[in-house]
Amino acid sequence: MSIIEKMTKILNDGDMAAAEQLIHDDYQFPMHSSGKKLSKADVVKWVGMKDVKKERVRVLFENNEVGFEHSFVSFNDGNKEAVMTFYKFKDGKIIHQETGATKLPK
């Protein structure tokens, strides 16, 4: 199973322990809309909230250094987005993540 496939399963299952293992300690996730950066602790906590489900995930490219995916994401509040995600990997873990999202009708 690829790193992206593992992260999708972790997110959909809300598996905080697995997220803790797959996300690098130096992880950063810049939130372009707010200017904030999420840390590993922020994302592990968010995974545990089970706020999101990813569907129709397509891994567009993945090697040992980077990965790209496209997916459709549903949030508990009813919002939906089409999301393109870029990952950087280090030591077999996710060290960096950026997304671009398009809101979809509820």
The amino acid occupying position 34 is S
User: Residue 5: enclosing H or E segment and its boundaries?
Assistant: helix 3-13
For the entire predicted model, the pTM comes to 0.93
Domains of the chain, first to last: 3-104 (3.10.450.50)
CA distance 44 to 23: 8
CA distance 23 to 25: 7
Note the pLDDT tens digit of each residue in 57-76: 999 999 999 999 999 999 99
Q: Is 77 helix (H, G, I), strand (E, B) or coil?
A: coil
Average pLDDT for residues 81-95, to the nearest whole number? 98
With bands split at pLDDT 50, 70 and 90, how would you rate the model's confidence at 32?
confident
Average pLDDT for residues 49-62, to the nearest whole number? 97
Q: Is the pLDDT of residue 13 over 90?
A: yes
Count Cβ atoms below 10 Å from residue 1 Cβ, excluding itself. 8
